[in-house]
């Protein structure tokens, strides 16, 4: 059975193509195994709760109609008559409370100090800094008094102590003009040793939740007792001239305990997807914009409550060809076993800087009373994960996972002590990180690329390229680890660190038996790196066996060509490692992540041309995934050298199909080239510049085979 849904429909109709339903929920209440719900273009403001399950060979499918722009929004319009409160600040009564507000789909900032615009939420300079005299439970800041605000009762967002976790706490005591405030000394994970932790100076925090802090455009405040909304628009004009919306729903799709469900082609704004305890479910070609928001961080409280997450738990589930951006908390959280995250773009997440909220988190399903959580064998493949406040990809608590061909960059922007690709502890044994590009970690303290952290056991790290990290490129602790064929350069303190000293006792971790000497049974081989050591300080050799590691010239690292340059010392300088470098060329394997003269591999997601038939003589052409900068697509319907149509797709309209006119177009092949806009600072006239973050392979002609579908 195929049900149709349209914004022009009615839930009392039959749900056919000519008499569609109005809500997706109406179809969800009726579908059974093997049924499809086709949703036509428009905006749907609802949480679709799924209750019917599919079976193998007969999935239940919820799909956006081919070539149509279908949006599910977690927001509702603010209605009412706006009036001037003072200056450029307007007010309007509201009938509900909420934590997130948009003007013309641009997120506004809840009034805070210090001020921050939306584009600066990952800029650590917009946080206040704790001063001399700060201690656990007490913030001292000489600039605080200048605000003239009594912050008692405000919300303090605290990135303090080690500064890789963040908490929100209520300001307990403060006086206007005072240079200090207090909060409850109940921060989980550090309470039992916090008084021994020094210094507390130079930590980061900001304050929100006071009407007096509303002092700049794009800020807002909601008085929950008066139910009065105050807003200063970006243009300092009347909000009634704009589309003002508040986040009122957390989820666009929500399911529990189901199997063989497919969710395809939707654009979710201000809401997200949650599939709990599900199996063999698929999320495909969906875009999540502003999916999650949390004013208060509750996951790491004394009495933890989970914040809203984009969450998939269970077994054999897949998220693919999808994008997620502008998430205050984490990106994708996938818990369980044999799940796959493939060809996804995750960017702009974790504004709080807390390790609780990473770009892609792979972990176990916690089972009450179980010694070992359930899960393992998960795969993260061909994803781009970037622009985060803490770690980009974290693998935790399950064995035999794989992270491969991912482009992971520019994380750790709102914290200290961070690695972009992270794992730890013995439960991850058998996990492999391979063929990834990892770069751009610039946290002010302990900025790493890849880390097998405390008590790592059985981790393999091979054929990765790691560069431009402020401290170390690759760090592996523990034992029985393998570090092969990586290319590391341009990192701050050293390229690779394979710890050889005793495992430290850390009171905030669950501890397995500690080793007196780390990495005795580990091996480090065939790595292109200038500096490999066994400790952060001193000339300490790496733990375990180390051989065939050396620096060498690369072909064009600025252009993402990391193959050995002609005549490089890396060529034929490696040794054979079965199953790791069997495909080598020449007399012996080359050292590093690439073979000289071989076709280079590329990391990160892959964007695609999406083609749908519009009529007998026209097609609609769009992109499957967002772009960071404008791209031009030159399209020919018959041969590569035939003049065709030219289209420009931007970050704002990549999803909108553009029409192609042609005579007698049939199923077959389209030829196209993608030309990307030159970045700022490029030479005059420079064109066809490859920006791998847009998801296209290096420039060149491509053949797009397609078949008309409904």
Residue 706 pLDDT more than 60?
no
Relative to beta strand 447-452, strand 379-381 is unpaired
The token duo for 249 is 């729903």
* Mean pLDDT of the residues in the chain: 91
CA angle 490, 495, 501 (to 5 degrees): 155
Read off the DSSP letter of residue 208.
E
The string of pLDDT tens digits covering residues 651-684 is 999 999 888 775 545 556 667 778 776 555 544 4
Residue 687 pLDDT more than 60?
no
Q: Provide φ and ψ at 344, rounded to 5°.
A: -120, 150
Conformational region of residue 190, where left means phi above 0, alpha means psi within -120 to 50, and beta covers everything else: alpha
The CA distance from 325 to 359, in Å, is 10
Q: Can you give the pLDDT at residue 671?
A: 72
Q: How would DSSP label each residue in 252-317? A: EEEEES-BSEEEES-EEES-EEEEEEEES-EEES-EEES----SS--TTSSS--PPP-EEEEEES-
Residue 24 DSSP SS3: helix
The string of pLDDT tens digits covering residues 222-251 is 999 999 999 999 999 999 999 999 999 999
Higher pLDDT, 488 or 191: 488
Residue 219 DSSP SS3: strand
CA angle 124, 301, 138 (to 5 degrees): 60
Domain boundaries, the chain: 1-74+249-289, 77-246, 609-706
Mean pLDDT of 459-476: 98
The CA distance from 502 to 520, in Å, is 11
The CA distance from 5 to 410, in Å, is 41
| Burial class of residue 696, CB neighbours in 10 A (0-12, 13-18, 19+) | buried
Position 685 confidence tier, pLDDT thresholds 50, 70, 90: very low
Q: Can you give the pLDDT at residue 424?
A: 96
pTM of this structure: 0.95
Q: Can you give the pLDDT at residue 367?
A: 59
The token duo for 297 is 């961080």
Mean pLDDT of 598-615: 87
The string of pLDDT tens digits covering residues 614-643 is 766 677 889 999 998 888 887 776 655 566
Higher pLDDT, 107 or 657: 107
Range in 192-206, 279-293, 330-344 the model is least confident about: 192-206
Position 707 confidence tier, pLDDT thresholds 50, 70, 90: very low
The CA distance from 465 to 454, in Å, is 22
The CA distance from 274 to 256, in Å, is 8
Report the run of H or E that residue 128 belongs to, with start and end: strand 128-129
Strands (E), 526-608: 532-533, 545-547, 554-556, 561-564
The string of pLDDT tens digits covering residues 355-370 is 999 999 999 986 544 4
Peptide bond into 517 cis (omega under 30): no
Read off the DSSP letter of residue 26.
H
Residue 126 DSSP SS3: helix
Count Cα atoms within 13 angstroms, Cβ side, for 670: 28
CATH number of 609-706: 2.60.40
Higher pLDDT, 367 or 427: 427
If you count them, how many residues does the chain have?
A: 710
């Amino acid at each position: 059975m195929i049900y149709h849904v349209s914004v022009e429909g009615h839930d009392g109709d039959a749900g056919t193509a000519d008499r569609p339903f109005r809500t997706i929920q109406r179809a969800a209440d009726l579908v059974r195994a093997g049924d499809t719900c086709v949703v036509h273009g428009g905006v749907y403001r609802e949480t679709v709760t799924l209750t019917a399950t599919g079976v193998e060979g007969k999935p239940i499918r919820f799909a956006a109609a081919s070539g149509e722009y279908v949006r599910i929004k977690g927001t509702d319009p603010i209605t009412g008559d706006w009036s001037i409160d003072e200056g450029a600040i307007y007010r309007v009564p509201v009938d509900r409370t909420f934590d997130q507000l948009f003007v013309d789909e641009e997120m506004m900032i809840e009034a805070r100090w210090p001020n921050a615009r939306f584009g600066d939420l990952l800029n650590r300079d917009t946080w206040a800094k704790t001063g001399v005299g700060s201690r656990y439970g007490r913030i001292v800041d000489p600039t605080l008094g200048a605000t003239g605000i009594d912050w008692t009762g405000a919300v303090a967002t605290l990135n303090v102590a080690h500064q890789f976790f963040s908490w929100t706490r209520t300001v307990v005591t403060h006086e206007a003009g005072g240079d200090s405030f207090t909060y409850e000394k109940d921060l989980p994970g550090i309470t039992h040793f916090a008084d021994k932790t020094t210094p507390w100076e130079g930590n980061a925090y900001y304050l929100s939740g006071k009407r007096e802090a509303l002092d700049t455009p794009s800020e807002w405040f909601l008085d929950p007792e008066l139910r009065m909304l105050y807003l200063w628009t970006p243009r300092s004009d009347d909000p009634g001239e704009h589309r003002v919306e508040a986040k009122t729903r957390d989820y666009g799709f929500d399911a529990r305990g189901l199997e063989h469900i497919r969710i395809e082609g939707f654009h979710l704004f201000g809401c997200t997807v949650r599939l709990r305890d599900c199996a063999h479910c698929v999320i495909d070609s969906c875009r999540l914009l502003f999916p999650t928001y949390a004013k208060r961080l509750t996951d790491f409280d004394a009495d933890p409550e989970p914040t809203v997450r984009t969450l998939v738990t269970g077994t054999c589930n897949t998220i693919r060809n999808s994008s997620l951006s502008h998430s205050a908390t984490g990106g994708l959280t996938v818990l369980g076993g044999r799940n796959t995250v493939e060809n996804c773009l995750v960017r702009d997440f974790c504004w709080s800087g807390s390790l609780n909220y990473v770009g892609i988190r792979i972990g176990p399903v916690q089972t009450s009373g179980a010694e070992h959580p359930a899960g393992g064998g998960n795969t993260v493949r061909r994803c781009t994960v970037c622009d985060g406040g803490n770690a980009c990809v974290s693998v935790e608590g399950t064995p035999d996972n794989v992270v491969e061909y991912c482009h992971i960059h520019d994380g750790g922007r709102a914290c200290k002590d961070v690695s972009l690709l992270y794992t730890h502890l013995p439960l991850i044994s058998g996990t492999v990180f391979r063929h990834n590009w990892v770069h751009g970690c610039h946290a002010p303290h302990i900025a790493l690329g890849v880390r097998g952290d405390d008590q790592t056991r059985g981790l393999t790290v091979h054929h990765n390229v790691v560069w431009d990290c402020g401290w170390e490129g690759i760090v592996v602790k523990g034992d029985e680890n393998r570090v092969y064929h990586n290319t590391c350069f341009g990192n701050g303190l050293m390229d690779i660190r394979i710890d050889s000293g005793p495992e430290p006792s850390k009171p905030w971790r669950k501890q397995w038996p500690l080793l007196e000497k780390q990495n005795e049974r580990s091996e480090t081989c065939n790595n292109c790196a200038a500096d490999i050591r066994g400790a952060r300080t001193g000339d300490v050799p790496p733990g375990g066996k180390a051989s065939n590691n050396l620096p060498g010239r690369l072909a064009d690292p600025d252009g993402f060509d990391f193959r050995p340059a002609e005549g490089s010392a890396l060529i034929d300088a490696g040794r054979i490692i079965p199953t790791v470098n069997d495909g080598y060329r020449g007399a012996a394997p080359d050292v590093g992540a690439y073979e000289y003269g071989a076709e280079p591999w590329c990391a990160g997601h892959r964007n695609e041309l999406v083609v749908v038939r519009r009529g007998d003589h026209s097609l609609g052409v769009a992109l499957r995934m967002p772009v960071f900068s404008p791209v031009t697509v030159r399209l020919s319907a018959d041969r590569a050298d035939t003049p065709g149509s030219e289209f420009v797709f931007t970050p704002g309209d990549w999803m909108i199909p553009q029409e192609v006119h042609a005579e007698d177009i049939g199923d077959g092949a389209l030829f196209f080239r993608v030309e990307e806009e030159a970045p700022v600072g490029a030479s005059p006239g420079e064109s066809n510049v490859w920006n791998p973050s847009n998801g296209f392979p290096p420039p060149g002609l491509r053949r797009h085979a397609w078949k008309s579908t409904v």
